[in-house]
Amino acid sequence: MEFSFASRASKLLSSHLHKVNKEERQNSFISLAEELPAEEFFPIKRLGEAARMVLSSDPSVLQYGEPQGYGPLRSWISEDWKRRRGMLTSADRILLTAGSQQAIDLITRLLVDIGDSVVVENPTSPGCLQVLEMQGANIIAVENDLEGLLPDRLEEQFQSVKPKLLFAAPSFSNPTGILWSLERRKAVLELCRKYGVLIIEDDSYGELHFGSEEAASRFSVSYPTLYALDAMDGGNQVLYIGSFSKTIAPAMRTGWAVGDQRLIRGMSTLKQMADWQSSSMNQQILYFLLHESSFRWKEHLALLNREYEVRLKLVLELLKRPGFKEVKYHPPSGGMYLWIQLPQGLHSEALLRASMRLGVAFLPGSRCSPGRQADEYIRINFSRPGREELLLGMNLISEAIQEFTARR
């Protein structure tokens, strides 16, 4: 039979990443498109030990658990983030989710009606855009510079459309890798307070910051989360979203949301309708890994940051080659992505088609902006590919660019 899909679903069914994944399964193929960490740094041995201990301790680990998530892990998160990130919260204000994407989906379904205006950074995470499109939101994109969202542009939109939410990723956003300055964080928070706009702060990449150990130790002071800044004044203007997907392993499917108890209760109720709870077994394994085992969490984060910085530096060296002479970019100081502006007149979707014929893919910038406003950009993931894949993949993209520029 023929199926009549919802109008908002039709665009998602033909998504770029679905096509890339299909190609990758069928061919020997290099993908610089996906939002994946490096497998070789997954703490496999430690996770195995934690799993054995948890599974041998009590059969109830395989039973249904608390819909809000495993209590000891929620408590660990509240204590660790308070100690390292200066975030004052408690376990009853935390909901464990199946990654950050589910948290975004839950808060959107809880608060956004069809036609409600929601502000996003331009560009922003393609996953966030997909959720908002499915909910029928009126998506308003606001420009940013290297310090973050532009306050004057943001206030114009607040006055014009009176949005319900602002989705923001102040620390190494997907796709640009921008790190908002402290001044810009304070300015955006004050505007949201003034106009009564709830901030959804996605901090999925906030642990992946590069530089010296001294800079790393000062990071949370120099760049506090919006949630931490708001909590200092006793506010409830921010719902914070975090995840272990980029720092431990995506398949553990554990993220979390922190915020006002009314929001957490509402999201928890919606979550019970969707899947009752995220995996209690995975949450208990994570808790054992982080709290009971000899696994050193801070040292693990430092390893990731050193290795990802090395990979970024390799990509930056490759961008000095002749094929990339007309591209523009700003090296990020953290995260997993490099945002590259293509030579004038070259569109990301056209370049992707040419690159895939050569055996490499990236994310077109058009997928990161409503109305394809960023079609002259591409996003490169430098965290997952190894050295050889980065070398070959970047060379193939360079060849594809040279094919286009030679025709001009």
What lies within 8 Å, CB to CB, of 382 at 6+ separation is 32, 308, 311, 312, 314, 315, 336, 337, 338, 390
330-371 confidence digits (pLDDT tens): 999 999 999 999 999 899 999 999 999 999 999 999 999 987
Contact 88, 123 (CB under 8 A): no
Q: What is the mean pLDDT of each run of 10 residues along the chain (408 residues)?
A: 72 56 60 95 95 90 90 96 88 95 97 97 95 95 96 97 96 96 98 98 96 80 94 94 97 96 96 88 96 91 96 97 93 97 93 94 94 88 95 96 79
| DSSP per residue, 278-327 | S-HHHHHHHHIIIIISS--HHHHHHHHHHHHHHHHHHHHHHTTSGGGTT-
Residues in the chain: 408
Region of 276 on the Ramachandran plot (φ > 0 left; ψ -120 to 50 alpha; else beta)? left
Phi and psi dihedrals of 328, rounded to 5? -130, 150
Contact 226, 39 (CB under 8 A): no
Domains of the chain, by residue range, sit at 11-42+298-406, 45-292
Residues 32-66 as b/e (b if ≥16 CB within 10 A, e otherwise) read bbbbebbeebebeebbebbbeebeeeeeebeeebe
Phi and psi dihedrals of 382, rounded to 5? -105, 0
What pLDDT, on the 0 to 100 scale, is given for residue 6? 74
Class of domain 45-292 (CATH, top level): alpha beta
Residues 212-238 as b/e (b if ≥16 CB within 10 A, e otherwise) read eeeebeebbeebbbbbbbbbeeeeebb
What pLDDT, on the 0 to 100 scale, is given for residue 86? 85
**138: burial class by Cβ within 10 Å (0-12, 13-18, 19+)?**
middle
Task: Specify the pTM.
Answer: 0.93
Class of domain 11-42+298-406 (CATH, top level): alpha beta
What pLDDT, on the 0 to 100 scale, is given for residue 408? 61
Phi and psi dihedrals of 200, rounded to 5? -100, 105
